[in-house]
Amino acid sequence: MAGCGRWRQRAQELRAETYAIYLACRDPRVPWYARGLAAAIVAYALSPIDLIPDPIPVLGQIDDLVLVPLGIALLLHLIPGSVMAECRERARAELAAGVPSSGRAAAVVVATWLTAAALIAGLIWRALGR
């Protein structure tokens, strides 16, 4: 049972770090390219479309377990340290107070993939029309 408590604590820390990254990407001091990378990481993590499809045994899950943490590590290097420290404090405080979940993040992911699909469909349409 001691291992269960450790996993629960690690999950809470991961949730706080993820929320801190979300808060940081909304901060105007964070460069636009870091925000773009954050949007791409979230879209990839939540998307049913992967580089290696999940039904492929082992490899389907490895891309999620490798690419998403690498993207987050890169993102943490792009966000100014002072901004990230402030956002970590704010995230811990807000999570302790019980932050209500929002559908805004889901809407952004859906909009991103719909836009990408529309662009790809337009390119295919143009290529087939010529």
Write the pLDDT tens digit of every residue in 15-46.
788 888 888 888 999 999 998 888 887 777 76
What is the Cα–Cα distance from 45 to 54, expressed in whole angstroms? 12
Please say whether the beta carbons of 25 and 96 come within 8 A. Answer: no
Average pLDDT over residues 67-79: 87
In sequence order, which ranges of the chain are alpha helices (DSSP H)? Answer: 2-25, 32-46, 59-78, 81-97, 104-129
The predicted pLDDT at position 10 comes to: 76
Taking the C-alpha atoms of residue 112 and residue 116, their distance in angstroms, rounded to an integer, is 6
Q: Among 10, 62, 53, 19, which residue's Cα sits nearest to residue 38? A: 19
Residues in the chain: 130
- Asked if the model's pLDDT at residue 101 lies above 60, the reply is no
Asked if 24 contacts 76 with a C-beta cutoff of 8 angstroms, the reply is no
Query: Residue 128: pLDDT above 60?
Result: yes
Q: What is the pTM of this model?
A: 0.59
Query: Two tokens at 56?
Result: 């492929």
- Higher confidence at residue 129 or residue 79? 79
Q: Taking the mean position of all CA atoms in its chain, how far away is CA 115? A: 18
As a whole-number percent, the residues of the chain with pLDDT over 70 amount to 81
pLDDT averaged over every residue in the chain? 80
pLDDT digits (tens, 9 = 90+) for 106-121: 666 667 777 877 888 8
Q: Residue 86 is encoded by which pair of tokens?
A: 């402030």
Q: How confident is the model at residue 124 (pLDDT cuts 50, 70, 90)?
A: confident
Cβ count near 20 (within 10 Å): 24
Looking at residue 50, what is its pLDDT?
67
